[in-house]
Structure 1
Amino acid sequence: MPTSATLPVAAPGVNPHRNARTLAHIPILDPQLYQPHPGRPVRSKMRELDKDTLIMPHTHPWAQLAISTGGVIKLSLANATYIVPPHRAVWVPPGVQHAVTMVETACLYTLYFLPQAHGGGAQARWMDEAEWQECRVMEASPLLRALVVEMDIGSDHAGPLSPAQQTRESHLSALVCDEIRRAAVIHLGVRLPQDKRLKHLCEAVLEDPTRHDTLEAWALDTGASLRTVARLFRTELGCTFTQWRQQVVLAKAVALAARQLPIAHIAAELGYTPSAFSALVRRTVGMTAATFLGQQHAPLPTV
């Protein structure tokens, strides 16, 4: 049995949703019921969650992959926010504090991966590589999405798997790990600063990036001068406000695209003409708006 040190724990010091609309907070499912172990190094669970549901900040000693059907996931860290549509998945390394919000109603699949050091075996060796020690958003191939819904989602209350089920889970797990390693990384994250004044501004922009047109207008809410705010963006985030806000716009576009809105509508919602928005996407992520927004992907199968 795991000790209390291995259980997901709430992190009251992190409040990534301070400016968000009212959220329905739900408890974390008992991790002991889904904890990966050497006999089952990859475990899966599924929860049907409504829009604006928040899974409170927590950590656990195993890695995690989150992917939804139909809806959009908002993954919040102490220093970044990721908005992830259903044709993509988000990777969370062991020990990283995170909270999950459902931007749209969906089934949330969460896969847990036992690290090699804890008995994950040779299959888990890739997780020790440096590139997997940070959160990342990745493309979820049709094969990966199909494998996810085929994984057994029963908790330990359901009893042990039969030998045939165990063999099938082992094969599926190996394929899941292979597809994850092959997946293209999408640079779709919004970094957050440590300075309280700037973080307050950034969280407000995340909630409504079109509220103000200029940094000067945003800065009025912080109590800091325009010069100070501009300097903080450069020193804490390594970019200008305009560059940072473009990442927010792309993240919001992903959430809007999950509603099956046309690109022209998404652009207008974000204050862009269709051509200007398409140019922004191409310049920032190097792909067409349709590809970036997943409008060329089939939805994840439902259960």
Structure 2
Amino acid sequence: MNAPPATTVVEPLTPHLYAPDAVRPLRAKEHFLQADTFVELHVHPWPQLTFSTRGVIRLSTQDGSYIVPPSRALWVPADVPHSITLIEDAELRTVYVHSWLAPPWERCEVLEISPLMRALMLALDTTPDGRAPADPQAPHRERMIAPLLIDEIERATQIRIDVPLPADKRLRQLCETLLRNPADRATLAERATAIGASERTVARLFHHQLGMNWQQWRQQAVMAHALPLLARGMAVSQVATACGYATDSAFCAMFKTATGRSPTAFQHKKPR
């Protein structure tokens, strides 16, 4: 999970100043970050819910990469190393949750944000330790909000827009190259040559490491790229081009096969 090229690299955003505890079981923080900022790999012993009030982010773990537009939030379990890449300027919000409150989920989950969930997250004080909370009643309000927010998290619709990544170094290089440029339509044979392997070897690695074939994985990578573009209101024709499709109809057919819905069903207005 190295920084992509041409990025601004920043250290972890002071999670130690927002550690949840029994008195304050929810802690929230906010940061405005510019596009192409890369937050270095870090880990902490409590789970978190990450979302952006505007802008799209990519959160990466050892096992995969997750695209998070403003209509989604990402649950990251405790002790999972992760890094964040800003796909565009974003107002990043993170809610840390005391472990005894958290759902027993062992993997990251992309969640649809309900209006109530958004309101509860935005109601949390974002003052770090060492400074008096902006709201003197913040600890009391956090304890009141906690059970309702956790209930909303557990009720939320889970959406599969993650892109799993392999452990094999050569295959991971191939996958990360496509993630950086989803419009590149190079064949599997061409990509295999670029990493010094045969097409047959790479095809076998996809099955063994990821449990899917090249076309299935590429489709998930393209979907993860397309969904935030649609969420920002980009025209379907532009999204198709950005994903490497020569025609809108071919892109729409792939999209409907993958989701059962047309791309326009995933276009959202930016939240105010």
TM-score bucket of the superposed structures, by smaller chain: over 0.9
> What does residue 279 of structure 1 align with?
253
- Residue 156 of structure 1 aligns to a residue whose secondary structure is coil
CA contact (8 A) 1:70 1:258 kept: no
Letter in 2 for 1:54: F
- CA distance in structure 2 between the aligned counterparts of 1:162 and 1:151, rounded to whole angstroms: 9
Instruction: State the secondary structure of the residue aligned to 1:157.
Output: coil
- Aligned residue for 1:251? 224
Q: Percent identity?
A: 42
CA RMSD of aligned residues (A): 1.8
- Normalised to the residue count of structure 1, the TM-score between the two structures is 0.84
Structure 1 position 258, deviation (Å):
4.9
**In the alignment, which of 14, 28, 37 is matched to residue 12 of structure 2?**
28
**What residue number does 2:89 align with?**
105
Number of the residue aligned with 1:5: none
Structure 1 residue corresponding to 2:80, chosen from 68, 74, 96: 96
- The answer as to 2:130 corresponding to 1:146 is no
Mapped to 2, the partners of 1:92 and 1:34 lie a distance apart of: 16
SS at the partner of 1:67?
strand
Structure 2 CA distance, aligned partners of 1:80 and 1:201? Answer: 14
2:43 aligned with 1:59:
yes
Matching of residue 300 in structure 1 with residue 271 in structure 2:
yes
Q: Could you tell me which amino acid in structure 2 is paired with residue 280 of structure 1?
A: M
Equivalent position amino acid for 2:199 in 1? L
1:198 pairs with one of 164, 167, 171:
171
Which residue pairs with 1:236 in the alignment?
A: 209
Alpha-carbon shift at residue 236 of structure 1 (Å): 1.1
CA gap of 1:161–1:49, structure 2 versus 1, over 3 A, is closer
Letter aligned with residue 45 of structure 1: K
- Structure 1 pair 162/71, CA: closer, same or farther in 2 (3 Å)? closer
CA distance in 2, matches of 1:31, 1:83: 21
CA positional deviation for 1:277: 2.1
1:252 aligned counterpart, secondary structure: helix
For residues 138 and 191 of structure 1, do their structure 2 counterparts lie closer, same or farther at Cα, with a shift above 3 Å needed? same
Cα offset, 1:239, TM superposition: 1.1
Give per-residue Cα distances to partners, 1:185-235, cap 9 Å, x unaligned: 001111111111111111101111232331111112011011111111111
Write out per-residue CA displacement over residues 119-175 of structure 1, whole angstroms, 9 at most, x where no aligned residue: xxxxx1x52x3xx11101111112212222221111122226876433322233332
* Structure 1 stretches lacking a partner, 5+ long: 1-13, 117-123
How many corresponding residue pairs?
Answer: 271
Do the aligned residues in 2 keep the contact of 1:282 with 1:288 (CA within 8 Å)? Answer: yes
Distance 1:233 1:32, change over 3 A: closer
The answer (yes or no) to whether the contact 1:84–1:254 under 8 Å persists in 2 is no
